[in-house]
């Protein structure tokens, strides 16, 4: 350890420096990503495991920058940090609505799930803006009605801890209009389960980390079983996320989980590939 001491220190220092420079670069370019047409929505089908039919799809954001795809895991936190997530969120919702309208015209009832960042609800001002978006987009896209029944919002548990009452009211209002609310990454947060009763929720998505550990740690089976029976008692739909193998699928089916998302069926794909598939 002694021999490596100074070199290691320099190495880590360099790593941190490079990482900081990359973040600063991405930060700078992300602001222009929308106007320069660098963002794209991919779609990952969600399947009924009993008949293999596509029942829904999740919209997943991709950023193609200088010929490379940058993962949302890397750029969403940067977007949140700089506040540009609000514009990005509106771009994402607009694209998803356009897609929903297209699907409706084709006579396909495949609702689109959209990820919503906690930051989009951060202040009272942003909450108002969020709500107004739905009326504005109707004008902007020159459509008669917003296809609320075709849109699901995926929110995380952290959102429910912040601004409880105001966010709850906002989501209730949208839900009255027909939007569905899904809890993403269910089980990974630290919030109390009581929000499932007090919050306007339709659906929960079991986080892929639970699904991936089903085989290695049998306690995860108990966990998934508990989530499923609780959801059933509360009349919530369950989606299992990250299903990759036959044995994961078998377990999920055995639990009578109604919808499955994962590489076992489909990876996220471009809009045109998704339309071809349908
Ligand atoms: P998420 O919402 O939990 O989305 C599911 C992620 O799991 C996606 O990663 C998807 O490609 C991946 N996935 C799906 N099936 C499998 C599987 O079988 N195995 C494995 N290993 N992975 C699977 P992706 O597309 O890289 O997105 C990562 C995260 O970025 C999302 O996690 C979400 O938190 C965020 N994100 C993506 N698009 C948006 C967006 O439009 N807005 C916001 N705010 N966040 C977004
Ligand atoms: Ca999601
Ligand atoms: Ca998730
Ligand atoms: Ca997530």
Provide the pLDDT for residue 188.
86
pLDDT tens per residue across span 8-38: 777 778 888 888 898 999 999 999 999 999 9
**Residues enclosing ligand 1, CB less than 6 A?**
44, 60-61, 71-73, 76, 92, 115, 117, 184-185, 208, 242-244, 261-263, 268
pLDDT tens per residue across span 198-219: 889 999 999 999 999 998 998 9
Q: Tell me the three-class secondary structure of the chain, residue by residue.
A: CCCCHHHHHHHHHHHHHHHHHHHHHHHHHHHHHCCCCCEEEEEEEEECCCCCCEEEEEEEEEEEECCEEECHHHHHHHHHHHCCHHHHHHHHHHHHHHHHHHHHHCCCCCCEEEECCHHHHCCHHHHHHHHHHHHHHHHHCCCCCCCHHHEEEEECHHHHHCCHHHHHHHHHHHHHCCCEEEEEEECCCCCCCCHHHHCCCCEEEECHHHHHCCCCCCHHHHHHHHHHHHHHHCCCEEEEECCCCHHHHHHHHHCCCCEEECCCCCCCECHHHHHHHC
Distance 163 CA to ligand 3 centre (A): 22
Distance 47 CA to ligand 1 centre (A): 16
pLDDT tens per residue across span 127-170: 999 999 999 999 999 998 899 999 999 999 887 776 678 889 99
pTM of the model as a whole: 0.94
Distance 204 CA to ligand 3 centre (A): 10
Please give the share of the chain, as a percent, with pLDDT higher than 70: 95
């Amino acid at each position: 350890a002694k021999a490596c001491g100074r070199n290691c220190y320099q190495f880590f220092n360099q790593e941190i420096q490079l990482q900081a420079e990359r973040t600063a670069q991405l930060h700078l370019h992300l602001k222009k990503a929308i106007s320069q047409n660098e963002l794209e929505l991919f779609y990952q089908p969600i399947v009924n495991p009993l008949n293999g039919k596509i029942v829904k799809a999740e919209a997943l954001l991709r950023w193609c920058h200088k010929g490379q795809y940058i993962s949302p895991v890397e750029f969403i936190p940067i977007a949140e940090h700089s506040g540009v997530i609000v514009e990005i969120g509106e771009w994402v919702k607009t694209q998803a609505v356009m897609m929903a309208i297209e699907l409706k015209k084709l006579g396909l009832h495949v609702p689109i799930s959209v990820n919503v960042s906690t930051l989009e609800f951060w202040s009272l001002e942003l909450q108002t803006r969020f709500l107004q978006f739905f009326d504005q987009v109707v004008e902007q896209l020159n459509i008669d009605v917003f296809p609320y029944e075709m849109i699901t919002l995926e929110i995380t548990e952290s959102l429910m801890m912040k601004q409880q009452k105001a966010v709850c009211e906002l989501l209730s209002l949208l839900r009255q209009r027909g939007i569905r609310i899904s809890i993403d990454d269910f089980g990974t947060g630290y919030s109390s389960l009581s929000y499932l009763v007090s919050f306007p929720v339709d659906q929960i998505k079991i986080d892929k980390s639970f699904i991936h550990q089903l085989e290695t740690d049998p306690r995860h089976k108990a966990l998934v079983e508990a989530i499923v029976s609780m959801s059933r008692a509360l009349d919530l739909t369950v989606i299992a996320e990250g299903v990759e193998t036959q044995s994961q699928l078998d377990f999920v089916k055995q639990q009578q989980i109604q919808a499955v998302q994962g590489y076992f069926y489909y990876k996220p794909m471009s809009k045109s590939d998704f339309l071809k598939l349908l």
